Amino acid sequence: MSAYMSGFGNEFESEALPGALPRGQNSPQRCPFGLYAEQLSGSAFTAPQGSNRRSWLYRIRPSVLHARNFRAAELPLWETAPCRTTTAHPIDQMRWGPTPLPDGAVTFIEGVRIMTTAGDADARIGMAAGVYVATRSMADTYFYNADGEILIAPEQGALIFDTEFGRIDAGPGEICVLPRGVKFRVSLKDGPARGYLCENYGAPFVLPSRGVIGANGLANARDFLTPVAAFEDSQRPSVMMVKWGGRFYVCDTPSSPLDVVAWHGNYAPYKYDLSLFCPVGALLFDHPDPSIFCVLTSPSAQAGVGDVDFVIFPPRWQVAEHTFRPPWFHMNVMSEFMGLIFGAYDAKPSGFVPGGVSLHNAMLPHGPDAAAFEIAIHAELAPAKLENTLAFMFESRLSQHPTDFALTHESRQADYAACWDGLPDRFERQRP
Ligand SMILES: O=C(O)Cc1cc(O)ccc1O
Ligand SMILES: [Fe+2]
If one residue of 313, 348, 364 were mutated to test the ligand 1 pocket, choosing by the most ligand atoms within 8 A of its CB, it would be 313
What CATH number is given to the structural domain containing 28?
A: 2.60.120.10
Mutate to test the pocket of ligand 1, among 286, 332, 393, 419 (most ligand atoms within 8 A of CB): 393
Residue 287 known to be catalytic: yes
Q: Would you state the pLDDT for residue 232?
A: 97
Instruction: Please state the rounded mean pLDDT for residues 24-47.
Output: 98
Task: Note whether 297 and 205 are within 8 A (CB).
Answer: yes
Q: Are residues 239 and 310 in the same domain?
A: no
Task: Report the number of distinct structural domains present in the chain.
Answer: 2
Query: The domain containing residue 51 runs over which residues?
Result: 4-274
Indicate whether 284 and 364 sit together in one domain.
Answer: yes
Given a cut of 70, is residue 16 above it in pLDDT?
yes
Say if 105 falls within a structural domain. Answer: yes
Pocket lined around ligand 1, Cβ cut-off 6 Å = 287, 290, 327, 330, 332, 336, 347, 360, 366, 393
- 313 and 191 housed in the same domain: no
Structural domain includes residue 424: no
Quick one: which atom of ligand 1 is closest to the CA of 289?
A: 9
Q: Within this chain, do residues 204 and 233 fall inside the same structural domain, yes or no?
A: yes
Residue 423 included in any domain: no
The protein residue whose alpha carbon is closest to atom 6 in ligand 1 is 327
Q: Of 66, 287, 378, 409, which is the active-site residue? A: 287
Q: Give the ipTM.
A: 0.99
User: Quick one: which of 171, 65, 159 has its CA closest to 109?
Assistant: 159
User: How would DSSP label each residue in 304-349?
Assistant: T-EEEEEEEE-SEEE--BS---SPPPB--SSEEEEEEEEE-BTTBS
Q: Domain end: 274, 296, 319, which one?
A: 274
- Which whole-number Å values give the CA distances from 109 to 48, 121, 161, 168, 350, in the listed order? 33, 18, 12, 16, 31
pLDDT for 1: 64
Which residues neighbour ligand 2 (ion) by CB within 5 Å? 336
Residues 269 and 312 in one domain: no
Query: What pLDDT digit, counting tens, does each position of 228-275 carry?
Result: 999 999 989 999 999 999 999 999 999 999 999 999 999 999 999 999
In a domain, residue 385? The reply is yes
Q: How far is CA 349 from each of CA 81, 353, 354, 368, 396, rounded to the nearest angstrom?
A: 33, 9, 12, 9, 25
Ligand 1 center to 366 CA (angstroms):
9
Q: Left (φ > 0), alpha (ψ -120 to 50) or beta: where does 124 sit?
A: left
Residues 341 and 213 in one domain: no
Same domain? 295 vs 190: no
Contact status, residue 235 vs residue 188, Cβ threshold 8 Å: no
Question: Could you report the per-residue pLDDT of 174-204, keeping only the tens digit for each?
Answer: 999 999 999 999 999 999 999 999 999 999 9
Query: Same domain, yes or no, for 254 and 342?
Result: no
116-125, pLDDT tens digit by residue? Answer: 999 999 999 9
Q: Which of 250, 274, 298 is the last residue of a domain?
A: 274
C-alpha distances in angstroms, 248 versus 77, 265, 357?
11, 28, 26
Which DSSP state fits 285? Answer: B
Q: Are residues 167 and 48 in the same domain?
A: yes
| 283 and 400 both lie in a single domain | yes
